[in-house]
Structure 1
Amino acid sequence: MSTEPSTPSLTERRKAATQLDIAHAAAELFATRGPDGTTAEEIAQRAGIALRTFYRYFRSKQDAISPLLTVGGDRWRALLEATEPGTALGPALESAVRQALAAPDEESVEALLRTRGLLRAIAGDVALRAVWYRVNQDSEERLVPVITRLAGDRADALEVRLIAAAATDSIRIALETWAATDADVTGPGSPTDLAVRCLRRLIGGMGQLTAGGPGGTGVATS
């Protein structure tokens, strides 16, 4: 039986595109008007859909940002999944982070700035924070099999979970920290700079855990 992921159908692709359009509309309104000043109806109008269509996809206005928040994590995992098994884990994680958070063109810069506005709105709203944390928890769980494959047969389940949690939190904390400042999208204090610093501290601080010591994964971090 083939283990290759199935290609999404046209209907599934259209659904995903509509959900992302709604998420962009919600993020723009939350960033400019604040969560309390934004209604589901206004999000639907901004996305060019009927309110009933909005509720077909999302239970609440806060849930509408989920697709936008998952994009970065999906891209990061895809980069890791493309890494050859046996590659040193630390460099593999850092390389994927650098590529996922890079801002090589205007579109990437605008995407990061939208993320900053959204994260600032999230920081002040309990319901939005719940969505953000749920997305990160899901990303961490989906990262576990990717880390397992990279680490190889010697990988310990507990250690893999710790690495997945540390890596996920590194990016989350970096983005939240950056969003609270006026630092640029590149250079010192940027998402990439902060995420790499977090990764090196959290993953590197595990010592033997990732360096092939007793019970270790056998995958060096540097």
Structure 2
Amino acid sequence: MPGSSLTDRRKAETRLDIARTAASLFIENGLRATRAEDIARAAGVAPRTFYRYFATKEEAVAPLFAAGAQQWAEAVRGAPAGLSVRDALRHAAARALVPDGDAEALEWVRSLLRMAGESAALRAVWSDACHASEETLISVLAEREGGVGTPSPSPSASPSLELRLVAGVASAAVRVAVETWAAGDDPAEGPAGPAALAVVCVDRLEGFRWP
């Protein structure tokens, strides 16, 4: 229904607005000093509205983590059909993990990942985003597999061990690349940026048997 679609979009926009506000406050004032009520007030919503979307202040930045992680998985979906899995992953990494007009979001991710080193709650949010991206990648790889002459699994079928392994290895490579970049001070673009590092990580998996 069009109304439901509009409502969903508005909810997604509200979630992202709160996420951006939370990230900004965490970076400006520190994670410990920032309360959920502070985030709600700065985002222009009532505390009860905040808690309708997020259970904790750390979870408020989940949309920022999820957006980047899902963008990478969807970029694999958009890779040219004739590419091998490895080349599709390289293609996606080189295009999805770049500023693309929103360099601030990547810098927020860098700062948040550094904070996660001292916050188990924030690490859990990052881990959940990576896991969700991996699940999306499993579906994407199944679709690509089906598109080259192999029947893709039915919606009720469990992904094969090989499919899960490929998605897990690929996701780990990208996660390591992003976390390595975040730990340093190099810009998001260039040979030490997350996109370039992700390509390097995929290339170094030479012994892995890609489908």
- What TM-score, normalized to structure 2? 0.87
**Is the Cα–Cα contact under 8 Å of residues 86 and 151 in structure 1 kept in the other structure?**
no
**Is the Cα–Cα contact under 8 Å of residues 23 and 108 in structure 2 kept in the other structure?**
yes
Relative distance call for 1:34 and 1:205 in structure 2 (3 A) is farther
Within 5 Å, give how 1:85-124 maps onto structure 2.
Answer: 85-104=81-100, 107-124=101-118
Q: CA–CA distance in 1 between the matches of 2:87 and 2:117?
A: 31
Q: Equivalent residue for 1:188?
A: 191
Question: Equivalent of 1:28, from 24, 28, 33?
Answer: 24
Q: Does 1:133 align with 2:131?
A: no
Q: CA–CA distance in 2 between the matches of 1:54 and 1:109?
A: 26
**Is the Cα–Cα contact under 8 Å of residues 73 and 134 in structure 2 kept in the other structure?**
no
Relative distance call for 1:162 and 1:154 in structure 2 (3 A) is farther
Q: Equivalent residue for 1:77?
A: 73
**Is the Cα–Cα contact under 8 Å of residues 20 and 64 in structure 2 kept in the other structure?**
yes
- What TM-score, normalized to structure 1? 0.83
Q: Which deviates more from structure 2 when the two are superposed, residues 156-165 or residues 37-46? A: 156-165
RMSD over aligned Cα atoms? 2.1
Q: Which amino acid counterpart does residue 91 of structure 1 have in structure 2?
A: D
Q: Equivalent residue for 1:166?
A: 169
SS where residue 38 of structure 1 aligns? coil
How far is the alpha carbon of 1:90 from its aligned partner?
A: 1.1
Task: List, as ranges, runs of 4+ consecutive aligned residues in structure 1 with deviation greater than 4 Å.
Answer: none
Q: CA–CA distance in 1 between the matches of 2:96 and 2:164?
A: 21
Residues 138-187 of structure 1: per-residue CA shift (max 9 Å, x gap): 21112111112223428882121111111111121111111111111112
Q: CA–CA distance in 2 between the matches of 1:40 and 1:108?
A: 25
Q: Equivalent residue for 1:213?
A: none
- Give the % identical residues: 43
Q: Equivalent residue for 2:207?
A: 205
* Structure 2, unpaired ranges of 5+: 153-158
Aligned length: 201
**Is the Cα–Cα contact under 8 Å of residues 22 and 61 in structure 2 kept in the other structure?**
yes
* Structure 1, unpaired ranges of 5+: 1-5, 211-216, 218-222
